[in-house]
Amino acid sequence: CHLPTLVQQLPACQHYHRCHSQLSLVTVNHYLSLMKTRFLLIPLVVLCTVGVFSKDNCVPDCSGKKVLDRVTDPLNCTKYFICLRNNLPQDTSVPCDSGKSFNECEPPACHLTCNGSLDSISDPNDCGIYYICSAGNILGPISCPKDRPYFDGKTCTTDSSQCCSGLCTPYCQAGIVEAPDPVNCTNYYICSRTGPADEKLHFSCPSGENFDVAQGHCIPGAKCTIMCPKTTVPGSHTTPSGGGSSVMPTTDCLDNMKCNATGYFPKCASCQQDYFHCWKVHEDALVETCTGDLVFNTDPSYPYCIDPTTCPRHR
Protein backbone atom coordinates (compact mmCIF):
# COMPACT_ATOMS: atom_id res chain seq x y z
CA CYS A 1 0.00 0.00 0.00
CA HIS A 2 3.03 2.29 -0.30
CA LEU A 3 2.26 2.67 -4.03
CA PRO A 4 -1.29 4.04 -4.31
CA THR A 5 -1.59 3.22 -8.00
CA LEU A 6 -0.88 -0.44 -7.24
CA VAL A 7 -3.00 -0.77 -4.13
CA GLN A 8 -5.66 -3.43 -4.48
CA GLN A 9 -8.87 -3.45 -2.52
CA LEU A 10 -8.54 -6.54 -0.42
CA PRO A 11 -11.31 -8.61 1.19
CA ALA A 12 -10.45 -10.33 4.50
CA CYS A 13 -11.77 -11.71 7.78
CA GLN A 14 -15.09 -9.89 7.36
CA HIS A 15 -13.38 -6.61 8.24
CA TYR A 16 -12.97 -3.60 6.06
CA HIS A 17 -10.06 -1.26 6.83
CA ARG A 18 -8.53 1.75 5.12
CA CYS A 19 -4.84 2.06 4.43
CA HIS A 20 -2.81 5.30 4.37
CA SER A 21 -4.55 7.78 2.02
CA GLN A 22 -7.93 6.09 2.51
CA LEU A 23 -7.18 3.38 -0.03
CA SER A 24 -8.50 -0.09 0.69
CA LEU A 25 -7.22 -3.45 -0.49
CA VAL A 26 -8.74 -6.56 -2.08
CA THR A 27 -7.01 -9.89 -2.65
CA VAL A 28 -7.57 -13.44 -3.76
CA ASN A 29 -6.31 -16.26 -1.64
CA HIS A 30 -5.18 -19.41 -3.39
CA TYR A 31 -4.47 -22.20 -0.94
CA LEU A 32 -3.14 -24.32 -3.79
CA SER A 33 -3.63 -24.29 -7.54
CA LEU A 34 -5.75 -27.41 -7.25
CA MET A 35 -7.86 -26.13 -4.38
CA LYS A 36 -10.85 -23.84 -4.60
CA THR A 37 -10.18 -20.13 -4.95
CA ARG A 38 -11.44 -18.18 -2.00
CA PHE A 39 -11.99 -14.44 -1.64
CA LEU A 40 -11.10 -13.24 1.83
CA LEU A 41 -10.99 -10.04 3.91
CA ILE A 42 -7.68 -9.28 5.65
CA PRO A 43 -7.42 -6.76 8.49
CA LEU A 44 -5.17 -4.03 7.15
CA VAL A 45 -3.93 -3.39 10.67
CA VAL A 46 -1.51 -6.21 9.81
CA LEU A 47 -0.86 -5.22 6.21
CA CYS A 48 -0.40 -1.49 6.56
CA THR A 49 1.75 -1.16 9.64
CA VAL A 50 4.93 -1.86 7.73
CA GLY A 51 3.75 -1.11 4.19
CA VAL A 52 4.22 -4.72 3.09
CA PHE A 53 1.54 -6.63 1.20
CA SER A 54 1.17 -10.31 2.10
CA LYS A 55 -1.50 -12.84 1.19
CA ASP A 56 -0.26 -15.34 3.80
CA ASN A 57 -2.30 -13.65 6.54
CA CYS A 58 -5.43 -15.21 5.06
CA VAL A 59 -4.08 -18.72 4.47
CA PRO A 60 -4.81 -21.38 7.13
CA ASP A 61 -1.35 -22.42 8.33
CA CYS A 62 -0.75 -26.15 8.77
CA SER A 63 3.04 -25.88 8.61
CA GLY A 64 4.62 -28.12 11.24
CA LYS A 65 1.26 -29.66 12.12
CA LYS A 66 0.38 -33.34 12.23
CA VAL A 67 -2.44 -34.96 10.27
CA LEU A 68 -5.80 -34.18 11.99
CA ASP A 69 -4.35 -31.21 13.90
CA ARG A 70 -6.60 -28.15 13.88
CA VAL A 71 -5.78 -24.55 12.95
CA THR A 72 -7.93 -21.43 13.07
CA ASP A 73 -9.88 -20.16 10.07
CA PRO A 74 -8.41 -16.72 9.24
CA LEU A 75 -11.87 -15.67 8.01
CA ASN A 76 -13.83 -16.61 11.10
CA CYS A 77 -12.58 -17.38 14.60
CA THR A 78 -15.64 -19.56 15.24
CA LYS A 79 -14.38 -22.03 12.61
CA TYR A 80 -11.26 -24.14 12.11
CA PHE A 81 -9.45 -26.23 9.49
CA ILE A 82 -8.24 -29.82 9.90
CA CYS A 83 -4.73 -30.40 8.60
CA LEU A 84 -4.13 -33.06 5.97
CA ARG A 85 -0.88 -34.60 4.76
CA ASN A 86 1.98 -32.45 3.47
CA ASN A 87 0.94 -29.53 5.71
CA LEU A 88 -2.20 -28.87 3.65
CA PRO A 89 -5.48 -27.59 5.14
CA GLN A 90 -8.79 -29.16 4.19
CA ASP A 91 -10.90 -27.40 1.56
CA THR A 92 -13.62 -26.09 3.89
CA SER A 93 -13.49 -24.88 7.48
CA VAL A 94 -15.54 -26.57 10.21
CA PRO A 95 -17.74 -24.57 12.65
CA CYS A 96 -17.09 -24.77 16.38
CA ASP A 97 -19.84 -25.77 18.78
CA SER A 98 -22.48 -23.08 19.22
CA GLY A 99 -21.24 -20.13 21.26
CA LYS A 100 -17.59 -21.19 21.11
CA SER A 101 -14.63 -19.87 19.14
CA PHE A 102 -11.42 -21.61 18.10
CA ASN A 103 -9.36 -18.53 18.94
CA GLU A 104 -10.57 -15.28 20.46
CA CYS A 105 -11.81 -12.86 17.83
CA GLU A 106 -10.28 -9.41 17.93
CA PRO A 107 -13.00 -6.75 18.26
CA PRO A 108 -13.37 -4.10 15.58
CA ALA A 109 -11.34 -1.00 16.33
CA CYS A 110 -14.42 1.12 16.88
CA HIS A 111 -16.20 2.46 19.97
CA LEU A 112 -19.74 3.47 18.99
CA THR A 113 -21.92 3.18 22.10
CA CYS A 114 -21.83 5.21 25.32
CA ASN A 115 -20.95 3.14 28.38
CA GLY A 116 -20.07 5.90 30.83
CA SER A 117 -20.08 9.62 31.44
CA LEU A 118 -17.50 11.66 29.48
CA ASP A 119 -16.98 8.65 27.22
CA SER A 120 -16.00 9.53 23.62
CA ILE A 121 -17.59 7.61 20.77
CA SER A 122 -16.99 7.49 17.03
CA ASP A 123 -19.38 8.26 14.21
CA PRO A 124 -19.78 5.02 12.19
CA ASN A 125 -20.13 6.91 8.91
CA ASP A 126 -17.62 9.76 9.31
CA CYS A 127 -14.13 9.26 10.72
CA GLY A 128 -13.68 13.00 11.21
CA ILE A 129 -16.52 13.30 13.72
CA TYR A 130 -16.94 12.15 17.32
CA TYR A 131 -19.36 12.60 20.23
CA ILE A 132 -19.04 12.93 24.01
CA CYS A 133 -21.36 11.08 26.39
CA SER A 134 -22.42 13.19 29.37
CA ALA A 135 -24.99 12.29 32.04
CA GLY A 136 -27.19 10.32 29.67
CA ASN A 137 -26.89 12.90 26.90
CA ILE A 138 -24.74 12.88 23.79
CA LEU A 139 -22.85 16.05 22.93
CA GLY A 140 -21.90 16.63 19.31
CA PRO A 141 -21.18 16.05 16.55
CA ILE A 142 -17.68 17.45 17.14
CA SER A 143 -15.35 17.74 14.15
CA CYS A 144 -11.65 16.93 14.31
CA PRO A 145 -9.30 19.79 13.30
CA LYS A 146 -7.89 19.88 9.78
CA ASP A 147 -4.36 19.05 10.94
CA ARG A 148 -5.64 15.95 12.81
CA PRO A 149 -8.67 14.88 10.75
CA TYR A 150 -9.22 11.29 11.99
CA PHE A 151 -10.79 10.18 15.28
CA ASP A 152 -9.21 6.99 16.66
CA GLY A 153 -11.73 6.37 19.44
CA LYS A 154 -9.91 8.52 21.99
CA THR A 155 -8.45 11.53 20.24
CA CYS A 156 -8.06 13.14 16.83
CA THR A 157 -5.02 11.95 14.89
CA THR A 158 -3.31 12.11 11.49
CA ASP A 159 -3.46 8.31 11.07
CA SER A 160 -6.38 7.28 8.83
CA SER A 161 -5.76 3.59 9.60
CA GLN A 162 -7.25 4.23 13.06
CA CYS A 163 -10.70 4.92 11.63
CA CYS A 164 -13.61 2.64 12.49
CA SER A 165 -13.37 -0.74 10.82
CA GLY A 166 -15.13 -4.08 10.75
CA LEU A 167 -18.54 -2.43 10.74
CA CYS A 168 -20.15 -5.11 8.56
CA THR A 169 -19.66 -7.74 11.27
CA PRO A 170 -22.23 -7.83 14.12
CA TYR A 171 -20.07 -7.63 17.24
CA CYS A 172 -20.66 -7.33 20.98
CA GLN A 173 -18.13 -5.00 22.56
CA ALA A 174 -17.20 -5.35 26.24
CA GLY A 175 -19.78 -3.76 28.53
CA ILE A 176 -22.44 -3.49 25.80
CA VAL A 177 -25.87 -5.08 26.36
CA GLU A 178 -27.36 -4.47 22.91
CA ALA A 179 -25.38 -4.25 19.66
CA PRO A 180 -26.56 -2.78 16.33
CA ASP A 181 -27.42 -4.79 13.25
CA PRO A 182 -24.96 -3.41 10.66
CA VAL A 183 -27.41 -3.69 7.75
CA ASN A 184 -30.79 -2.96 9.39
CA CYS A 185 -31.38 -0.05 11.76
CA THR A 186 -34.62 -1.60 13.08
CA ASN A 187 -32.83 -4.71 14.35
CA TYR A 188 -30.31 -5.36 17.12
CA TYR A 189 -28.49 -8.15 18.96
CA ILE A 190 -28.57 -8.92 22.68
CA CYS A 191 -25.03 -9.47 23.95
CA SER A 192 -24.56 -12.40 26.30
CA ARG A 193 -20.76 -12.22 25.97
CA THR A 194 -18.03 -10.22 24.30
CA GLY A 195 -17.36 -11.35 20.74
CA PRO A 196 -19.28 -12.02 17.51
CA ALA A 197 -23.01 -11.49 17.96
CA ASP A 198 -25.17 -14.60 18.29
CA GLU A 199 -27.77 -14.91 15.52
CA LYS A 200 -30.11 -16.61 18.01
CA LEU A 201 -30.20 -13.33 19.95
CA HIS A 202 -31.19 -11.22 16.93
CA PHE A 203 -34.32 -9.11 17.52
CA SER A 204 -36.38 -6.28 16.03
CA CYS A 205 -37.18 -2.92 17.61
CA PRO A 206 -40.83 -2.15 18.42
CA SER A 207 -42.81 -0.63 15.56
CA GLY A 208 -41.83 2.98 14.87
CA GLU A 209 -38.47 2.72 16.63
CA ASN A 210 -34.90 2.50 15.32
CA PHE A 211 -31.81 1.25 17.09
CA ASP A 212 -29.77 4.22 18.31
CA VAL A 213 -26.14 3.13 18.00
CA ALA A 214 -24.81 5.79 20.38
CA GLN A 215 -27.43 5.15 23.10
CA GLY A 216 -27.31 1.37 22.64
CA HIS A 217 -31.05 0.65 22.49
CA CYS A 218 -34.20 1.22 20.40
CA ILE A 219 -35.64 4.74 20.50
CA PRO A 220 -38.80 6.18 18.85
CA GLY A 221 -37.82 8.53 16.04
CA ALA A 222 -34.10 7.72 16.27
CA LYS A 223 -32.03 8.36 13.16
CA CYS A 224 -31.63 5.26 11.00
CA THR A 225 -27.89 4.51 10.95
CA ILE A 226 -26.81 1.84 8.47
CA MET A 227 -23.19 0.96 9.26
CA CYS A 228 -22.84 -1.48 6.37
CA PRO A 229 -25.22 -0.45 3.56
CA LYS A 230 -26.90 -3.44 1.98
CA THR A 231 -27.96 -1.69 -1.21
CA THR A 232 -27.36 1.47 -3.16
CA VAL A 233 -29.59 3.21 -5.68
CA PRO A 234 -29.28 1.18 -8.91
CA GLY A 235 -27.22 3.05 -11.50
CA SER A 236 -26.18 5.78 -9.06
CA HIS A 237 -22.59 6.94 -8.77
CA THR A 238 -21.02 8.33 -5.63
CA THR A 239 -17.48 9.64 -5.67
CA PRO A 240 -15.72 8.77 -2.37
CA SER A 241 -14.16 11.55 -0.33
CA GLY A 242 -10.89 12.60 -1.87
CA GLY A 243 -11.81 10.92 -5.15
CA GLY A 244 -12.63 12.45 -8.47
CA SER A 245 -13.53 9.52 -10.64
CA SER A 246 -14.19 10.16 -14.29
CA VAL A 247 -15.84 6.74 -14.71
CA MET A 248 -19.42 7.18 -15.87
CA PRO A 249 -22.25 4.91 -14.67
CA THR A 250 -23.80 2.54 -17.20
CA THR A 251 -26.91 0.40 -17.50
CA ASP A 252 -25.04 -2.91 -17.73
CA CYS A 253 -25.08 -3.49 -13.96
CA LEU A 254 -27.09 -5.92 -11.85
CA ASP A 255 -29.36 -4.34 -9.26
CA ASN A 256 -28.87 -7.17 -6.78
CA MET A 257 -27.43 -10.66 -6.41
CA LYS A 258 -28.11 -13.67 -4.19
CA CYS A 259 -24.85 -15.08 -2.82
CA ASN A 260 -23.94 -18.65 -3.72
CA ALA A 261 -20.43 -18.24 -2.30
CA THR A 262 -18.57 -15.76 -0.12
CA GLY A 263 -16.23 -13.26 -1.74
CA TYR A 264 -16.18 -10.24 -4.04
CA PHE A 265 -17.77 -10.20 -7.50
CA PRO A 266 -18.27 -7.77 -10.41
CA LYS A 267 -21.57 -5.91 -10.35
CA CYS A 268 -21.30 -4.62 -13.90
CA ALA A 269 -20.24 -5.94 -17.30
CA SER A 270 -18.14 -2.81 -17.79
CA CYS A 271 -15.46 -1.42 -15.48
CA GLN A 272 -17.35 0.48 -12.77
CA GLN A 273 -16.62 1.37 -9.14
CA ASP A 274 -19.43 -0.65 -7.57
CA TYR A 275 -19.05 -4.37 -6.86
CA PHE A 276 -20.82 -7.10 -4.88
CA HIS A 277 -19.60 -8.27 -1.47
CA CYS A 278 -20.97 -11.67 -0.44
CA TRP A 279 -20.35 -12.06 3.29
CA LYS A 280 -22.75 -14.97 3.78
CA VAL A 281 -24.09 -17.71 1.47
CA HIS A 282 -27.82 -17.48 0.60
CA GLU A 283 -27.95 -13.81 1.68
CA ASP A 284 -28.32 -10.78 -0.58
CA ALA A 285 -24.96 -9.37 -1.66
CA LEU A 286 -23.87 -6.00 -0.29
CA VAL A 287 -22.98 -3.28 -2.78
CA GLU A 288 -19.62 -1.63 -2.07
CA THR A 289 -17.52 0.91 -3.94
CA CYS A 290 -13.84 1.08 -4.86
CA THR A 291 -11.99 4.04 -3.39
CA GLY A 292 -10.65 7.04 -5.29
CA ASP A 293 -10.54 6.55 -9.06
CA LEU A 294 -10.22 2.77 -8.90
CA VAL A 295 -12.74 0.50 -10.64
CA PHE A 296 -13.61 -3.13 -10.00
CA ASN A 297 -12.19 -5.57 -12.53
CA THR A 298 -14.81 -7.36 -14.65
CA ASP A 299 -12.83 -10.63 -14.78
CA PRO A 300 -13.96 -12.72 -11.76
CA SER A 301 -10.60 -14.51 -11.70
CA TYR A 302 -8.95 -11.21 -10.71
CA PRO A 303 -11.42 -9.53 -8.29
CA TYR A 304 -9.45 -6.39 -7.53
CA CYS A 305 -10.09 -2.67 -7.58
CA ILE A 306 -7.67 -1.51 -10.28
CA ASP A 307 -6.72 1.53 -12.32
CA PRO A 308 -9.41 2.17 -14.98
CA THR A 309 -6.72 2.38 -17.68
CA THR A 310 -5.87 -1.30 -17.07
CA CYS A 311 -9.45 -2.59 -16.92
CA PRO A 312 -10.39 -5.25 -17.83
CA ARG A 313 -7.39 -7.15 -16.57
CA HIS A 314 -6.97 -10.90 -16.93
CA ARG A 315 -4.70 -13.19 -14.95
pLDDT exceeds cutoff 50 at 285? yes
pLDDT of the residue at 147:
92
If you count them, how many residues does the chain have? 315
Alpha-carbon separation of residue 16 from 63, 108, 186 (angstroms):
28, 10, 23
pLDDT of the residue at 135:
72
- Determine if the pTM surpasses 0.85: no
Helix (H, G, I), strand (E, B) or coil at 199: helix
Dihedral sign computed on CA atoms, order 126, 273, 24, 184 = positive
**Burial class for 47, CB neighbours closer than 10 Å (0-12, 13-18, 19+):** buried
Q: Which of 33-42, 155-164, 270-279 has the lowest mean pLDDT?
A: 33-42
Rg (CA), the chain: 20
Which residue type, as a one-letter code, is found at position 230?
A: K
pLDDT of the residue at 178:
93
Q: For 197-211, how does the pLDDT look when each residue is reduced to its tens digit (9 = 90+)?
A: 888 899 999 998 999
What is the rounded distance in angstroms from the CA atom of residue 171 to the CA atom of residue 189?
Answer: 9
pLDDT of the residue at 209:
93
Q: For 13-72, how does the pLDDT look when each residue is reduced to its tens digit (9 = 90+)?
A: 444 443 433 333 433 333 333 333 333 333 333 333 233 333 344 678 888 888 888 888
pLDDT of the residue at 176:
85
Higher pLDDT, 56 or 124: 124
Beta bridge partners of 274: 289
Residues 247 and 273: beta-carbon distance below 8 Å: yes
Q: For 212-261, how does the pLDDT look when each residue is reduced to its tens digit (9 = 90+)?
A: 988 899 999 888 888 775 433 333 333 333 333 344 444 578 888 888 88
* β pairing state of 202-204 and 187-190: antiparallel
pLDDT exceeds cutoff 70 at 3? no
CA atoms within 13 A on the CB side of 160: 13
pLDDT of the residue at 243:
35
Mean per-residue pLDDT for 68-79?
A: 79
pLDDT of the residue at 211:
94
pLDDT exceeds cutoff 60 at 88? yes
Q: What is the DSSP letter of 6?
A: G
Residues 51 and 45: beta-carbon distance below 8 Å: no
Q: Which of 97-106, 172-181, 194-203, 239-248 has the lowest mean pLDDT?
A: 239-248
